[in-house]
Amino acid sequence: MVKRSIPGLSGLVFLCGLLALTLAPGLKADVTGSILGTATDSSSAVVQGVVVVATNLDTNLSQSTRTDAAGQYRILVLPVGKYKVEASLPGFQKFLVTGIDLTVNEQHRVDIVMQVGNLTQEVEVNAAAAQVETTNSQIGQVVEDKAILALPLNGRSYIDLLGLQPGVAPTASGTVSNRPVSGQLSAGNISVNGQRESANAFLVNGGDVSEGRNMGTSIIPNIDSVAEFRLITNSFDAEYGRFSGAIMNAITKSGTNGFHGTAFEFLRNDKLDSRNFFDPAKGAFKRNQFGYAVGGPAIKNKVFWFTDYRAGAKCAASPPA
């Protein structure tokens, strides 16, 4: 048998391997969550072999596992969203937990108590509205879309909400004034727990969007497309690495099995303003900004779509005469 080699093939394979190793540190950080817990019976004895299924209520995505010899289970890499957890085992009633709101990088604990009976019977439990996370040492706050849209923002950028957390102070060095992003919005250079303003990381859906000079954000998604964001101020996982300040991770919305969306227009006009008591006339200030965010299913339970648009704000101002 005659063996023939392709010139340059070994070099090409080597280059591909080298490229993979080079790109590895830049892979996306974790933007999912996990659900874990322990299954016990009414006498608090652990139960092995319980089938546990976590189902996303918006997309019907489900993942399953079984409890181990210690009665423990863990379901990893779950997209953020609302979930229900079902547990079943022959000889026991089905156990159901609803109302689980899984946030980015959260390890949500759901302990299961199996009651003797048959599978046609069901024990349903509503998840607690608030949960203290005991399996993760990270310190940080998740701000969800309801709070983002309800709080007043001049410029409609979620970056302006970072200062709501303890230990966060706006930049004072003035080193970023010549590097505006997304129009004239703030690049998000903040000092966290006394660290430098350039010691933070900015992620969108797990991808690094930090700009190279002052390490502010180079991308600010339309605020109506942001599902939630989390600013981790201390003790973050090794997957983030190389940052001594904070990690800001924004998660954008996605399509679901139902059509949902919003359309908006923000209008300010001097015709709607009143005159200041000490001014002889009203100052002219006009601002107009509009857009939309909408999503839905392309193939139910399988493929979804989401799109958004925000027009640049058109402003015109003049002082009172």
Q: What is the mean pLDDT of the chain?
A: 78
Instruction: Establish if 37 belongs to a structural domain.
Output: yes
pLDDT at residue number 126: 78
Range of the domain at 275: 260-318
Where is mean pLDDT largest: 48-62, 101-115, 185-199, 250-264?
48-62
pLDDT at residue number 189: 81
> Using one digit for the tens of pLDDT, what is the confidence trace for 7-46?
443 443 334 443 333 333 443 456 788 999 999 998 999 9
- In the predicted structure, residue 261 carries a pLDDT above the cut 80: yes
Owner of token pair 């953020």: 80
Q: What gap in Å lies between CA 16 and CA 21, rounded to an integer?
A: 9
pLDDT at residue number 8: 41
Residues 113 and 218 grouped into a single domain: no
- In the predicted structure, residue 232 carries a pLDDT above the cut 50: yes
Residues 224 and 286 grouped into a single domain: no
> Using one digit for the tens of pLDDT, what is the confidence trace for 118-146?
777 777 787 765 566 666 666 777 888 88
Q: What gap in Å lies between CA 120 and CA 259, rounded to an integer?
A: 33
Residues 100 and 190 grouped into a single domain: no
Instruction: Establish if 99 belongs to a structural domain.
Output: yes
Q: Which has the minimum average pLDDT: 22-36, 112-126, 220-234, 248-262?
A: 22-36
pLDDT at residue number 245: 78
Residues 100 and 50 grouped into a single domain: yes
Q: What gap in Å lies between CA 265 and CA 159, rounded to an integer?
A: 20
pLDDT at residue number 20: 39
pLDDT at residue number 56: 94
- In the predicted structure, residue 100 carries a pLDDT above the cut 50: yes
Instruction: Establish if 5 belongs to a structural domain.
Output: no
Tokens linked to 218:
């180079």
Q: Report the CATH number that the domain containing residue 118 is assigned in CATH.
A: 2.60.40.1120
Residues 73 and 91 grouped into a single domain: yes
Where is mean pLDDT largest: 19-23, 38-42, 190-194, 207-211?
38-42
pLDDT at residue number 68: 95
pLDDT at residue number 321: 55
Out of 227, 252, 277, a domain closes at 252
Whether this model's pTM surpasses 0.85: no
pLDDT at residue number 112: 93
Is residue 142 left, alpha or beta, with left meaning phi > 0 and alpha meaning psi from -120 to 50? beta
Out of 200, 218, 252, a domain closes at 252
β-pairing, 72-78 vs 33-41, is antiparallel
Residues 149 and 241 grouped into a single domain: yes
Residues 162 and 226 grouped into a single domain: yes
Per-residue pLDDT band at 66 (split at 50, 70, 90) = very high
Residues 248 and 264 grouped into a single domain: no
pLDDT at residue number 133: 62
pLDDT at residue number 171: 63
Q: Read off the pLDDT of each residue in 87-94 and give the average, rounded to a whole number.
A: 92
* Total of domains in the chain: 3
> Using one digit for the tens of pLDDT, what is the confidence trace for 141-172?
788 888 887 777 777 788 888 887 888 887 64
pLDDT at residue number 136: 65
Instruction: Establish if 171 belongs to a structural domain.
Output: yes
Instruction: Establish if 14 belongs to a structural domain.
Output: no
pLDDT at residue number 19: 38
Q: What is the DSSP letter of 49?
A: S
What distance lies between CA 206 and its chain's CA centroid?
8
Residues 147 and 216 grouped into a single domain: yes
CB 292 within 8 A of CB 264: yes
Is residue 50 left, alpha or beta, with left meaning phi > 0 and alpha meaning psi from -120 to 50? beta
Instruction: Establish if 225 belongs to a structural domain.
Output: yes
Q: Read off the pLDDT of each residue in 247-274 and give the average, rounded to a whole number.
A: 85
